[in-house]
Amino acid sequence: MRQRVILWTAVLAVMGWMSYGIWRGEAAAALERSRAGEVSAPEETVKEQKLIALTFDDGPHPVYTPMLLDGLKERNVKASFFLLGGNIEGNEEVVERMAEEGHLIGNHTYSHVQLTKISPEEAEREIAGTNEKILAASGVLPRYIRPPYGEWSEQLEAMTAMEPVFWNVDPQDWKILDRKAVADHIIKHGADGAVVLLHDSYETTVEAALEVIDTLEKQGYTFVTVDELLVD
């Protein structure tokens, strides 16, 4: 009996010493953090950064792309543009402006073809021809491609050095052509890491995109180019 009492006393003493040690460790760490100025906000209020990327396909458009660039500049927001090589001629200054203002310029083929339905040689021409036009207009060689219809293959992956960029929010702006409906769809489905598919060939899309930026920025979102979402 006496031995048991001694044993229990010893166990309790060890436990007490251990919890004092843990408490002391935590207290010291907390003190350390507060000295470093790290405990200025409780954990729940530390805001995680929410990132979202607006992407615009099928441009450049001579009227609506500059209109969009004006709105993005006013808001200091960067977007990603996947250009059609066939739309660049005559709009080189718009492409140059995209690069100057910090937007990401990608490839969307020359003539909006489904790359998986043509020969590898034709696909290569579609991609290279567009890269050449973009390089000549902006001085930047694209690294990313948005394959039309989202159709890509392992063969294309192996053949080109380009990285495909898909999307996870599609408001079908080109079809519904309604500022409010497009904006509402994006605001409803917007989430951290969202890549939004849009087309800068319509005034309704430009207006919707700018409205989305104003609304989601108030909700704590930061708009970034797609490469910033792909890097992990």
List interacting residues with Ni ion (CB under 5 A): 57-58, 148
CB of 51 to Ni ion, least distance (A): 23
Do residues 184 and 216 make contact, with C-beta atoms less than 8 angstroms apart? no
Cα separation, 50 vs 169, in Å, equals 15
Do residues 66 and 96 make contact, with C-beta atoms less than 8 angstroms apart? no
Cα separation, 51 vs 37, in Å, equals 26
| Cross-strand bridge partners of residue 198 | 56
Do residues 52 and 223 make contact, with C-beta atoms less than 8 angstroms apart? yes
Q: Does 108 qualify as catalytic in the annotation?
A: no
CB of 113 to Ni ion, least distance (A): 10
Judged by CB, which is closer to Ni ion: 204, or 221? Answer: 204
Residue from 57, 58, 173, 200 carrying the catalytic annotation: 57
* Residue sitting closest to Ni ion (CB): 57
Judged by CB, which is closer to Ni ion: 142, or 148? Answer: 148
Judged by CB, which is closer to Ni ion: 78, or 146? Answer: 146
CB of 148 to Ni ion, least distance (A): 5
Cα separation, 115 vs 25, in Å, equals 61
Residue from 108, 199, 200, 214 carrying the catalytic annotation: 199
CB of 84 to Ni ion, least distance (A): 7
Q: Does 199 qualify as catalytic in the annotation?
A: yes
Task: Residue count of the chain, please give it.
Answer: 232
Closest CA to 59 of 95, 93, 34: 95
Judged by CB, which is closer to Ni ion: 58, or 211? Answer: 58
Catalytic residues: 57, 199
